């Protein structure tokens, strides 16, 4: 084996060990306590029930006290902060459920082929969100908005699949009005 091939092989081993270490480092575990549910655990860690079930090979929502669950990797702290700041700016004064729904729209867009595939990409995609244009996205998020993001993450994949929301008193868009309405919360109409 040549010196060059030995170096390449050594680098490949080091890289593969590094990747393995990163994967294990990102996965946490949680021991189920009495009264907990996958949903409550999902809110606690900011991970969807769907992802919790997949990571733990569960076909239903049944968990047992003392059971150890793998917590899959979720979005980064900076992504959570950005999403919470958008929720704060877009849904300030709206009911808590409306804040959760605004966060869910962003998460649904990340999953959709119609939008960028990252939270940052969705939020900064052109003229989609007025807080990006007027600068209110840069204001800190309230604790309620932060918690709404955690709840939206836990609920992700289980909702109506809304991709849009608007306040009909403030926005006039025939495109948005032509979309299928999924729900109305407070002053916002949600649609897909």
Count how many domains the chain has. 2
Note whether 82 and 172 are same-domain residues: yes
- Domain holding 151: CATH number? 1.10.10.2520
CA angle 15, 21, 22 (to 5 degrees): 90
User: By CB neighbour count within 10 A (0-12 exposed, 13-18 middle, 19+ buried), where does 175 fall?
Assistant: exposed
**Which residues of the chain fall short of a pLDDT of 50?**
2-26
pLDDT on residue 25:
33
pLDDT on residue 188:
94
Residue 64 lies in a domain: yes
pLDDT on residue 8:
38
Cβ atoms of 145 and 94 closer than 8 Å: no
**Could you tell me which of 33, 26, 94, 113 has the C-alpha nearest to residue 65?**
33
Residue 109 lies in a domain: yes
pLDDT on residue 32:
96
Cα–Cα dist 152/160, whole Å: 12
Neighbours of 48 (CB within 10 A): 22
pLDDT on residue 67:
95
Find where tokens 């009909």 sit: 168
Note whether 88 and 180 are same-domain residues: yes
Note whether 87 and 174 are same-domain residues: yes
pLDDT on residue 147:
95
Note whether 130 and 182 are same-domain residues: yes
Among residues 21, 39, 74, the one where a domain terminates is 74
Residue 3 lies in a domain: no
Quick check: pTM over 0.95? no
Residue 21 lies in a domain: no
Domain that holds residue 91: 77-191
Note whether 107 and 184 are same-domain residues: yes
pLDDT on residue 74:
81
Cβ atoms of 97 and 155 closer than 8 Å: no
pLDDT on residue 1:
52
């Amino acid at each position: 084996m040549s010196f060059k091939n030995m170096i390449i092989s050594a680098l490949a081993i080091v890289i593969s060990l590094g990747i393995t270490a990163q994967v294990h480092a990102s996965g946490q575990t949680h021991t189920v306590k009495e009264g907990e549910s996958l949903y409550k655990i999902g809110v606690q860690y900011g991970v969807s029930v769907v992802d919790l079930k997949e990571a733990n090979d569960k076909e239903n929502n049944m968990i047992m006290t003392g059971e150890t669950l793998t917590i899959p990797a979720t979005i980064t702290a900076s992504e959570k902060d950005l999403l919470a700041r958008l929720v704060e700016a877009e849904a300030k004064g709206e009911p808590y459920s409306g804040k959760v729904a605004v966060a869910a729209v962003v998460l649904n867009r990340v999953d959709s082929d119609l939008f960028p595939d990252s939270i940052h990409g969705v939020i900064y995609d052109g003229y989609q969100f007025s807080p990006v244009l007027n600068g209110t996205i840069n204001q800190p998020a309230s604790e309620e908005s932060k918690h709404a993001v955690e709840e939206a993450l836990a609920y992700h994949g289980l909702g109506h699949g809304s991709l849009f929301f608007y306040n009909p008193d403030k926005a006039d868009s025939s495109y948005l009005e032509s979309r299928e309405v999924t729900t109305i919360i407070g002053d916002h109409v949600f649609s897909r």
